Amino acid sequence: MFVIEDLYKTFHVGGQAGVKAIDGISLNVETGKLLTLLGPSGCGKTTTLRCLAGLERPDRGRIVINGRVVFDSEQGIFVPPSERALGMVFQSYAIWPHMTVFENVAFPLRVARDRKYSAAEIKQEVVRVLEMVQLGGYENRASTRLSGGQQQRLAFARGLVRNPNLLLLDEPLSNLDAKLREQMRVELKRLQRTLGVTTVYVTHDQSEALALSDVIAVFSAGRIIQRGSPQEIYRRPRSQFVADFVGSANFFHGTIAKRSDDTATVDTPHGMILCSFVESVQAGQTVMVTARPEDLTISEKHPGDGLNVFAGKIAHRVFLGEVTDYFVDLGEGREIRVRAAPDVELGIGRAVHVAIRPEQCVGLAS
């Protein structure tokens, strides 16, 4: 549906050295998929979205949407936002407070430059998308009399009313409370799959990215660090940044003691770890091993195998309802997190053993 090639964007503030918001990224997504741009504040994900929309003009690169070149720095092409056949939903919703629900959704049709819509067509399209987002019957209500979740649905309806080639969502759920945000994730995913509209979603919330996406692109300092399915990003991170940013992770530093094909034994200060590696490594090389808290098991008894087992004491624990997080002190100021079922009952100060299955830990070259 769209292709970004070698895109750059630098912002200059007060005559100072420029800040590279986008530093040579290339990106694409298949038609009908939901792509999430994930990363911390200031990493370049929103700037990338705004370049796609035509709200920012890149310094260099090329953007193609639905087979049409909308930006090309070498050929001097820049298609304005109104001609890109896009729908966009902003973080702030941008709902017109003086308009009814109907008029908010009808606005893109009334100002369309590529064709003129009749009153009957406008009514038909507005009613269609309001029903789609479960706001049927709210046409005459003042937009200010909607709840936060209803306003978000209204913003989605306005973004969809012209059947866009591409739907751009800039942190659209960040203003909602936690429970409503979770509900809206489900509704948004259902709506996106039902319509089959190609969607680019910007967020810093890794749980949103994992729940909604077909593909995730993890950003850092204007670059794409890793791109893949939610399962690939979570289970096979290719850097410490990705492992740490997407979910919780434990890290163990060590050196390669022995390697075989795509696995290696790592000598760490707290014991030997057998794990798989996504990159080629050699004996004696300094590396890092990462493991998710839910992939570790905790018990008072030693599991019997010397590899991938650590001895420690429970420093503290946090009850989270469906799980309990145990923080285990391995000594020398090293603490790891283990996520266990709520029926596991272990007291503070209790001596325990923590085990990791080799297939559930990933080695990373330092």
Please name each of the domains of the chain with its CATH number: 2-241 (3.40.50.300), 250-365 (2.40.50.100)
- Residue 241: the pLDDT is 94
Mean pLDDT value of segment 49-62: 96
Task: Name 224's Cβ contacts closer than 8 Å, sequence gap at least 6.
Answer: 25, 26, 27, 217, 218
Task: Name 260's Cβ contacts closer than 8 Å, sequence gap at least 6.
Answer: none
Q: Give the percent of the chain with pLDDT over 90.
A: 67
Kindly state the DSSP code that residue 95 receives in the 8-state scheme: -
Helix (H) or strand (E) holding 46: helix 45-53
Q: Does residue 187 have a pLDDT over 90?
A: no
β-pairing, 309-319 vs 324-331, is antiparallel
Mean pLDDT value of segment 292-312: 89
pLDDT tens for 210-233 read 999 999 999 999 999 999 999 999
pLDDT tens for 87-138 read 998 877 788 889 999 999 999 999 887 788 899 999 999 999 999 888 999 9
pLDDT tens for 255-278 read 999 988 788 999 999 889 999 887
Question: In 10 A of CB 90, how many CB atoms?
Answer: 14
State the average pLDDT for the chain.
91
- Residue 15: the pLDDT is 65
| Residue labelled with tokens 């986008």 | 22
Query: How many whole angstroms separate alpha carbon 253 and alpha carbon 240?
Result: 11
